[in-house]
Chains A and B, each alone.
Chain A
Amino acid sequence: MTYRWNFASVFDNWQALAMGLAGTLKLSIVCLILGLSLGLLVGFGRRARRAPIRWLSTAFVEFFRNTPVLIQILWFYFALPMIAPIEVSPFLAAVLGITLNAAAYSSEIYRGGIQSIEPGQTEAARAIGMSGLQTLRRIVIPQAVRRILPALTNRGIEIVKTSTLASVVAYVELMQQGKLIASLNFNPIEAYTVVGVMFMLLLYPFVRATYAIERRLARSD
């Protein structure tokens, strides 16, 4: 018995897929920006001089790193409105879950990157009169970014793929639309294959771009 692949039934629903793609892009971009910036803050928080900031940052990281994103999204969607007087849309629930998780993971990457810069670099910068902030901006962060770019790329890819979990609260993104098409046409294999390939096509150019940046930054070696 051979399986008869029927991709036509998927492509007939290209409008649904296009909507899903738009939803995936929107969610991914918001989570990438928020997650990776919040991660930088938390990363610095873990090295803060004030102990309460360090504890809070560590607690944040350990909490969000060690709970499943799926559960966080469900929790933000169903439980948060019960304890706080706010309406939580599927989009917001997904953004919260994915962003906080991404921040927890990426903060560890940033922290490692910043810690890996020799103290002599900071000292040399301070010795010519640079302020702490100038030293971070001009000396520490540019060097740290070079070192953590590959790890950060991985994290970025992970964030985009994690966006599929938003389908659990019926947010319209690629996975959700794949599910929809599959249930209407009884073609789950084809539908999910197409969704998978679409992710590949979405992510590969992004990865190539980061390779190009890595090469550019490596000029000083």
Chain B
Amino acid sequence: MKVPVLRLSGLGKRFGSNTIFSGVDLDVLPGDRIAILGASGSGKSTLLRCINFLEHPDEGRIEVGGQLIGHVTGPNGPAVVRYDERELNQLRQRIGMVFQQFNLFPHMTAIANVMEGLVTVRRLAKPEARSKALEQLSRVGLADKADAYPAHLSGGQKQRVAIARALAMEPEILLFDEPTSSLDPALVGEVLGVIEALANEGRTMLLVTHEIGFAYHMATRVVFIANGGIYESGTPDEVLKSPKRALTQQFVADHRRFQF
């Protein structure tokens, strides 16, 4: 049996008294491509952000490559997992994240954005970092934009640079949070094309998206989030073609209404 690259068990997150989700169990095997769907505000982003600890989960465990992140404390009373900043910094290098708003560093050129992690975090020498960064930029088709500042790039190009920036750290898992939602429709294709190419390489990824057609074609598994947890999950055919539960059926119907 393969060891999951990522295992969530009993994961829960609250903001104040507002429970966003609880009891989330998820095993991600190497090469899995998991599409996470759900209504706006259902907690998809929060779940993704907990996986690389941009938010700290309030309960449950996260294991990456078979290893528990953090350490369990409290022999008396409920076990609590405490996290160590240094460990989290290490962990985040192994988990790439691509944001809806790209979040490129505007004061750096495209290639400097991609080099940043290699130089500052990995401490590679500049020339080596540069050639690695150029490799990643070529892979997303932007080698010729290496010296352009983000302000001079289109939305689609920005997102491709952001993907290259994540790839440069050679992550074991890629997290995409609605990577095409803030793009002009005409630019969505170029970004989805890059993600598809990564999928074809067999990369492990979790993708939050409203592009339900894309999810159907590229995901190995679809997870539908509702009511503060995983509401329904299965193969794309199971969840998107013949959903079993009411909210999933409603969601799929809403999203397919205007497709042709």
Interface 0/1 of A110-130, CB less than 8 Å to B: 000000001011011111111
Could you mark each residue 191-222 of chain B with 1 if its beta carbon is under 8 Å from any beta carbon of chain A, else 0? 00000000000000000000000000000000
Greatest chain B CB density within 10 A among A121, A124, A139, A146 is at A124
Chain A residues with Cβ under 8 A from B108's Cβ?
220
Q: Tell me whether B89 and A220 are in contact (CB under 8 A).
A: no
B120–A120 touching, CB < 8 Å: no
Does A210 interact with chain B (Cβ within 8 Å)? no
- In the complex, the answer to whether B54 meets A126 with C-beta atoms within 8 Å is yes
Distance in Å: Cβ of A83 to nearest Cβ of chain B: 42
Q: Is the CB of A134 within 8 A of B92?
A: no
Q: Is the CB of A127 within 8 A of B54?
A: yes
B99 at the binding interface (Cβ < 8 Å): yes
B52 CB, min distance to chain A CBs, angstroms: 6
Given the contacts A129-B169, A130-B121, A220-B149, A124 and B93 also touching, CB distance less than 8 Å: no
Find A128's partner among B101, B106, B107, B165 (CB 8 Å cutoff): B165
As a 0/1 sequence over residues 164 to 201 of chain B, the CB contacts with chain A under 8 angstroms (1 = contact) are: 01101100000000000000000000000000000000
A120 to B97, CA, bound (A): 12
Q: With A and B bound together, what is the CA distance between A146 and B92 in angstroms?
A: 28
B103 in contact with A128 (CB, 8 Å):
no
Residue A68 lies at the interface, judged by CB distance under 8 Å to chain B: no
Q: Does A143 sit at the interface, judged by CB under 8 A? A: yes
Does A215 count as interface, using CB distance less than 8 angstroms? Answer: no
CA distance A142 to B108 in the complex (A): 10
List of B residues within 8 angstroms of A139 by Cβ: 105
Which A residues lie within 8 Å of B120 (CB)?
A: 130, 134, 138
Could you count the A-B residue pairs with CB atoms below 8 Å apart for me: how many are there? Answer: 77
Complex Cα distance A123/B55, Å?
10
With CB as the reference atom, state the residue of chain B lying closest to A142.
B107
- Map CB proximity to B onto A8-24 as digits: 1 under 8 Å, 0 otherwise: 00000000000000000
Taken residue by residue from 78 to 110, chain B's Cβ proximity to chain A (1 for < 8 Å, 0 otherwise) reads as 000000011001101101110101011111110
B94 to chain A, nearest CB (A): 8
| A127 CA / B174 CA spacing, docked (Å) | 11
B98 → A minimal CB distance (Å)? 9
Give Cα A120–Cα B103 distance, bound, in whole angstroms.
6
On whether the beta carbons of A129 and B90 are closer than 8 Å, the reply is yes
Contact, CB under 8 Å: A124 / B121: no
Q: CB distance A146 to B169 under 8 Å?
A: no
Which residue of chain B has its CB nearest to the CB of A117?
B106
CB distance from A38 to the nearest CB of B (A): 25
What is the minimal beta-carbon distance from B167 to any residue of chain A, in angstroms? 11
5 closest residue pairs by CB, A with B: A129-B93, A128-B117, A124-B103, A120-B103, A127-B97
**What are 25 residue pairs bridging A and B, where the CB atoms are less than 8 Å apart in the complex?**
A118-B101, A118-B103, A124-B105, A124-B165, A126-B89, A126-B92, A127-B95, A127-B97, A127-B99, A128-B165, A129-B89, A129-B92, A129-B93, A129-B169, A130-B116, A130-B117, A130-B120, A131-B85, A143-B107, A217-B107, A219-B149, A220-B106, A220-B107, A220-B109, A221-B149
Q: A127-B52, A127-B97, A129-B90 are in contact. List 15 more A-B contacts (CB 8 A).
A: A121-B103, A123-B54, A123-B99, A123-B103, A124-B97, A127-B92, A128-B121, A129-B89, A129-B93, A132-B85, A134-B120, A138-B116, A143-B107, A220-B107, A220-B150
